[in-house]
Structure 1
Amino acid sequence: MFVRTAGERDLAAVRTLLVETWHATYDAIYGAAKVIEITDEWHSIASLRLRLTRPNSEFLVADDGKRIGGMAFAAATADAKIILLNQLYVHPDCQRRGVGQALLDEVEASFPEARTLRVEVEEANGGAIAFYRSKGFLPADHTADPREASGPTTLSFEKPLG
């Protein structure tokens, strides 16, 4: 797979990737009905389209010419030296093949002025936590999930850059 900037023509495939990946990852955490609710809102074509033109951001896809196997979206914070990795998802069929690493490498290259890459991960998502830790991310702090006061806890991780 090669990593490139996402375009309008990719949005339907990215939505499909996100819905399938979210069900595989989060049904056990939130339940399938809640995953449908979240993906319908967060991963709608309209929501994804807004990311294409967001300033100081990068919307990437991993593409093999036949399918989109992964995606990432990152944006600078108010402090341009801190980048928030909002999303990095690899379809379950494409995991453990270097796709996540390739997306992460391109995110880092897209923000040469950045000194810190930050990500938040559900505490119950052990696979993602293991991935980020193996890529040099270190725990930063705990934050409550803003969607529900009694919901899962998200963990913040940061990776120093440059």
Structure 2
Amino acid sequence: MFVRTASERDLVAIRVLLVETWHATYDAIYGAAKVTEISDEWHSIASLKARLTRPNSEFLVADDGNRVGGMAFAAATTTDAKIILLNQLYVHPDCQRRGIGQALLEEVEASFPEARTLRVEVEEANAPAVAFYRAQGFLPAGNTADCGGGSGLPALIFEKVIG
């Protein structure tokens, strides 16, 4: 798979990837109904489309020409352009453990040359994600009671010094 900038023609495939990955990852944690509710809001075509034009952001897909196997979205925080929030990094369960997440993360880092900190919020019960970010050099930096802003779900905050 190669990493490239997402476009409007990718949005349906990205939504499918996110819905399937979220159900595979979070049904056992939150229940299928809650996952569907969150996906319908966060992963709607309209929500994804809005990210394509967001200033100071990068929206990426990992694509092999036949399918989108992974995606990432990151944006500079509104308070400090040197802090980048990795809002999403998801790899379809069928494509995990092939270096796709690492390739997406590396491209996110390269997309913000002025940045000094990359921050991500991770569900504590998502042990594979916690292990992935730790392996990529992220360190614990606190927690939040409202992952993603508006979810009301708690999450760990990890940060990595970059640049």
User: Shorter-chain TM-score category?
Assistant: over 0.9
Residue 95 in structure 1 maps to residue 96 in structure 2: yes
Could you tell me which residue of structure 1 aligns to residue 140 of structure 2? 139
Q: Any idea what SS the aligned residue of 2:84 has?
A: strand
- Structure 1 position 56, deviation (Å): 0.2
Could you tell me which residue of structure 2 aligns to residue 129 of structure 1? 130
Q: In structure 2, how many angstroms separate the alpha carbons of the residues matched to 1:8 and 1:143? A: 31
Q: In structure 2, how many angstroms separate the alpha carbons of the residues matched to 1:161 and 1:47? A: 28
- Structure 1 position 147, deviation (Å): 2.7
Q: Output the aligned Cα RMSD.
A: 0.8
Q: Any idea what SS the aligned residue of 1:23 has?
A: helix
Q: Any idea what SS the aligned residue of 1:140 has?
A: strand
Identity of aligned residues (%): 82
Q: In structure 2, how many angstroms separate the alpha carbons of the residues matched to 1:106 and 1:121? A: 20
1:13-162 equivalence runs, <5 A: 13-77=13-77, 78-145=79-146, 146-148=150-152, 151=153, 153-162=154-163
Q: In structure 1, how many angstroms separate the alpha carbons of the residues matched to 2:18 and 2:76? A: 22
- The amino acid across from 2:52 in the alignment is L
Q: In structure 1, how many angstroms separate the alpha carbons of the residues matched to 2:139 and 2:38? A: 27
Structure 2: segments with no counterpart, 5+ residues: none
Structure 1: segments with no counterpart, 5+ residues: none
- The amino acid across from 2:71 in the alignment is M
Question: May I ask how many residue pairs the two structures share in their alignment?
Answer: 159
Q: In structure 2, how many angstroms separate the alpha carbons of the residues matched to 1:30 and 1:45? A: 23
- The amino acid across from 1:48 in the alignment is L
Q: In structure 1, how many angstroms separate the alpha carbons of the residues matched to 2:115 and 2:23? A: 32
Deviation readout 1:24-77 (Å, 9 max, x if unpaired):
000011100111111011100000000000000000000000000000000001
- Structure 1 position 143, deviation (Å): 1.3
Q: In structure 1, how many angstroms separate the alpha carbons of the residues matched to 2:155 and 2:91? A: 19
